[in-house]
Structure 1
Amino acid sequence: MHLRARLAQPARGRGQLAAGTPVLPGLIVSAVVLVGLCGGSGMIWLPLLAAGPALAATTNRPRGVVWVGLFAVVLGAVLGARHDVPGRELAAVLSALVAVTLASGLASALRGRRERVLAAVRSVAETAQHALLKPVPQTVGPFRVAVRYSAAAAEARIGGDLYALVSTPHGVRLIVGDVRGKGLPAVGTAALVLGVFREAAYDEPDLPAVVDRIERSLARNLGRDDFVTAVIAGYRDAGHLEMVNCGHAPPLLVRASGGVVAVDPAHPAPPLGLRALSGEAPGLQKVPFAEGDQLLLYTDGVTEARNEGREFYPLAERLARHVGDEPERTLTALHDELLAHVGGRLHDDAALLLLQQPATSGPYDGTGHGPAGR
């Protein structure tokens, strides 16, 4: 291990040296000088030497910019002397080249400072993401689980979609939702929903009571036009899932025998935060969930993703094509294909959570700690 680390250090040093060396700007300066020597009229080509330090400012640190500028000034002086350029004209061109070098060095310093600030912001965003969207283990209770999340603002790393899956004394419980809107207000609402869900999932024996806790919290904290669509599900007794759908896209159920079906809500309910407007309480739905079955929960950033032809991403069709015995591999294939469908950049937050009950999981003890007898 130590030998491998020592061997890797020179390689990393060479990589850092190559990254910090202004190779391309130096080649451009050399190419301009070569053209000037072959062209026979050095004065015409001298102003193009400024391209070297200007390019170095976009890729290198100030020290690299200065070295490229000095290199260009020296070669420019040699080129001017070789072609007998008048001293006053040569001095003017070289002075302009020095000015461009100094300005490029300043631009490089400012760029480096912005990059450091951006790196710090990204680090904070990643920390916030891990606190808000805690990593889901590959195995929870009797289930194998995989998650994929992509924020539309890739630089922010977090957005308004939310998910959580916890093992509780009342069984495994999970939520996947989508906050209306984007930006920091949506992130704040997502944090509120997840905090209430994680607490209520442990405290409340019945799934509708968990939903009621979230609804009451949102009613106190959300604006009049704000809401959250969500699917809250639980697995207490072997053989079926309990589910409450609050205005969210229907999950996709993959039967072990084959086929993908949408789990439409038997009793449609308004999104979380809007119950006071309709007065309708969400109904509990029981969905058969046998060994070998899989359930995919997702947000509308997946199904509403469009390609260049304005065609929506056909999630159910692609799920049937890629589904397998490993949830992680299935979601990787779906996520990669989704990004290819939109050309590499999503325009809305997208979350995917795949739940699989392996055929060898055995009977579940209902405590949230795994199959009975283990």
Structure 2
Amino acid sequence: MEHRRWAEEHPWPPRWLRWVPPALILLTLALDHATPSRYSFGPLLSASVVLALFTYPPIGVAATGAAGCVLLALANEIEDYVGPQTITSLIVLASVTLLSMALCIVRRRSESRFRHVQAVAEAVQLALLRPLPARIGPLRMAGFYRAADDEALIGGDLYCVRDTPFGIRVIIGDVKGKGVAATQTVATVISSFQEAALIHPSLPQVADRIDVALQMDRDHPPLEPLGDKVAAAPAQSLTDELFTTAVLLEFSRDASSVRILDRGHQPLLVIRRDAASVVETEHSLPLGMADLLLDAPRVTTLGLDPGDILVAYSDGVTEARDGTGTFYPLRDRLQSHCNSGARPVSPTELITFVRDDLVRWTPALGDDVIAIAFQPAPAGDR
């Protein structure tokens, strides 16, 4: 997950902060020694104790305060100007140390509780968005997912891959809304897809099952937490539809072809023979809006040769803006990459390029981002 990698690269508090408290103590003693006795820098020692609160355990905070008191008393004794200012500085430093120790204990308990809650949340979220396998049978795949909120694992985008008796089935989608409501819809779509993909022989039937689940959520909203109680969410109105743009894929058992059902999602791209092109499909209404369909959505079949790469993505990719407000041109960037002689030969290479190129293009992502690449394995590697 992208957010986990970012957190590992940017730990908090930063490691260098642990060296600041002792450095501040030494700086205070040096200033006291270098200036006349009428100047007192003892209060600076309190700052070192406060900084220790964020980096050290309680025993470390106590040691920092004790070291400051001892060194300040020794320095003043050596300089022979122990007076009211010294006594006041020691009392203030001791008081700040005791208060910082108490706050440090509270902080560590809060961090422990937060880590526990975060671990439970990650387990639940990863149960929905499971890591992509590198390969299922003859189909290779790779992808990356990043929520707009760096602290979240799941946003409004979703994906799921299942090996079924009817082929390898995939859904990539983007639900309406953000936050808790979006996560509930993600759970509805993925759970419905996982069940329907195994029992329904056609993609339209799978989509119909998801349609029914979304309409049930719209008509009978799931319960939402309200303080210490659980309350029913307000009913969705006709002007506040619950829907998901999605594309459903069904790869044949040998991955030589893929059936595509487009329910209002971003157009797929295919890279073959050094050319990146858009896959022409019949665009239909999003999932959850089946009651507005006049005709049943049609499935498009696309043949795939070994080496071809099919790319599915969300609008978070193509709507990412650079500093001038220009949208990220995914197809053009892939075509330029192929023309440069660095044509991706595997899904992993392609996804690595898209992820790094997208980071270079936009200073900050304003929406959830997902991109997944699929490729039939060569005949000798099946």
Q: Which amino acid aligns with 1:346?
A: L
**Counterpart secondary structure, 1:45:** coil
What count of residue pairs does the alignment treat as equivalent? 342
Moved more, 334-343 or 54-63: 334-343
Q: Which amino acid aligns with 2:259?
A: E
- Counterpart of 1:179 in structure 2 is 175
Instruction: Go from structure 1 to structure 2 and tell me whether the alpha carbon gap of 1:253 and 1:42 turns closer, same or farther (over 3 Å shift).
Output: farther
1:51 is aligned to 2:47: yes
**What CA RMSD, in Å, does the superposition of the two structures yield over aligned residues?**
2.3
- Counterpart of 1:10 in structure 2 is none
Q: Which amino acid aligns with 1:246?
A: R
Instruction: Go from structure 1 to structure 2 and tell me whether the alpha carbon gap of 1:220 and 1:354 turns closer, same or farther (over 3 Å shift).
Output: same
Structure 1: gaps of 5 or more residues: 1-18, 363-370
Q: TM-score, normalised by structure 1?
A: 0.84
* 2:169–2:250 Cα contact (<8 Å) kept: yes
**Counterpart secondary structure, 2:40:** helix
Q: TM-score, normalised by structure 2?
A: 0.83
Q: Which amino acid aligns with 1:107?
A: L
Structure 2: gaps of 5 or more residues: 1-14, 219-235
* 2:274–2:343 Cα contact (<8 Å) kept: no
The Cα of 1:354 is off from its aligned counterpart by 0.6
Deviations 1:209-255 (A, max 9, x none): 11111111111113342210100011237643211111111111111
1:232 is aligned to 2:248: yes
Instruction: Go from structure 1 to structure 2 and tell me whether the alpha carbon gap of 1:300 and 1:105 turns closer, same or farther (over 3 Å shift).
Output: same
Aligned identity (percent) is 35
The Cα of 1:41 is off from its aligned counterpart by 3.0
- Counterpart of 1:274 in structure 2 is 289
The Cα of 1:323 is off from its aligned counterpart by 4.6
Q: Which amino acid aligns with 1:262?
A: V
1:301 is aligned to 2:316: yes
Q: Which amino acid aligns with 2:49?
A: P
Moved more, 294-303 or 132-141: 132-141
- Counterpart of 2:264 in structure 1 is 247
- Counterpart of 2:227 in structure 1 is none
Deviations 1:23-80 (A, max 9, x none): 4311210121012112233642122121211111121111111111111111222233
- Give matches, 1:134-283, under 5 Å: 134-222=130-218, 223-224=236-237, 225-236=241-252, 239-255=256-272, 257-265=273-281, 267-283=282-298
Q: Which amino acid aligns with 2:312?
A: L
Moved more, 190-199 or 107-116: 107-116
**Counterpart secondary structure, 2:42:** helix
**Counterpart secondary structure, 1:324:** coil
* 2:40–2:85 Cα contact (<8 Å) kept: no
Residues of 1 paired with 2:278 and 2:264: CA distance?
Answer: 14
* 1:234–1:242 Cα contact (<8 Å) kept: yes
Q: Select the residue among 87, 91, 96 that pairs with 1:95.
A: 91
